[in-house]
Amino acid sequence: MQYRRLGRTGVSVSKLCLGAMMFGDWGTKDHDESIRIIHRALDAGINFIDTADIYSDGESEIIVGKALAGGRRDDVVLASKAHMPMGEDPNQRGNSRRWIVREVENSLRRLGTDWIDLYQIHRYDTETDIDETLGALTDLVRAGKVRYVGHSTWPVSAIVEAQWTARERGRERFVCEQPPYSILTRGIEADTLPTLARYGMGVLSYSPLAGGWLTGRYRAGAEAEAPFSAARRRLANRFDLSLPENQRKLQAAEQLAELADKAGMTLVELAIAFVLRHPAITSAIIGPRTMEHLESQLPAADIELPDDVLDRIDEIVAPGVTINPADNGWVSPALLPAARRRP
């Protein structure tokens, strides 16, 4: 396993990051099996684990904490996130100081640790001043509860504003962004990745398999079906085969499967290796639900895609293009119907 610097920090993380979204009620309900998968990933050289409070309503964090107990915690760069609703109370969500300070304590308790290496704001909140969010995160860093701070699926304008605010107000700087990125979801190539590179930020891309589209699970001629897992049911517009944009994803996945076969690799390996090839990417987050999934994904870290394969990928899905905009993960409130109607 190779390691890369996380942005301009002195921390080195593995090219593959173990995403823990599928551990718990959303995926693998057996805690012992989830722990075995985590230990196998660590034994393979992965030193980076990413989870979030919202994953299975905190259960994922509990499982990760169990897996790292007994001496493994010190060798792992542990990341978690906050922002998503954790209850009916309107104050149990978002990017306010009140919620961040409260929720980091909950995550620390569930993870069974005294500190989180990378604490990320899971989504941008247009209604909360970035300085308020950065102020709370800065205090957590100075208190030793958090080592570094990052964000996930933020628009470019917010990324720039946060960097400016940190510099002008003397706040902790966000050191990385976690965006969706795959062969089918290339929108960040146009502006987000160049912006992150200019600020020297790390990039922890998620969903390199496009939520399963690049595993071979979805095939041409298959009947439209409801997503299997609770996590997928939350994202039905990305998987409903009756939608034309998802049919286009299906067609691209078929072409990519043929390309992978000709290149002598699996579609899974092709997809992950593509993400890792981009010079702006620090680490690709994989989210296995089973041991078989993990074993099929680990070899991708050692694959270097030749130029002719990359050229063919660009023909199938052009650079900077996301086939289904829903896969971008964030929609500006300015595009919602209420914001586009006259008063």
Catalytic residues: 55
Distance of alpha carbon 323 from alpha carbon 317, whole angstroms:
8
274 residue type, one letter: F
**Rounded CA separation 112/114 (Å):** 7
Q: Each residue of 11-49: b (16+ CB within 10 Å) or e? A: bebbbbbbbbbbbbebbbeeeeebbebbebbbeeebbbb
- For residues 237 and 211, the answer to whether their CB atoms sit within 8 Å is no
What is the distance between the alpha carbons of residues 76 and 65, in angstroms, rounded to a whole number?
11
In the chain, the amino acid numbered 325 is P
In contact, 118 and 150? CB cutoff 8 Å: yes
Within 8 A by CB and 6+ apart from 325, the residues are 187, 245, 331
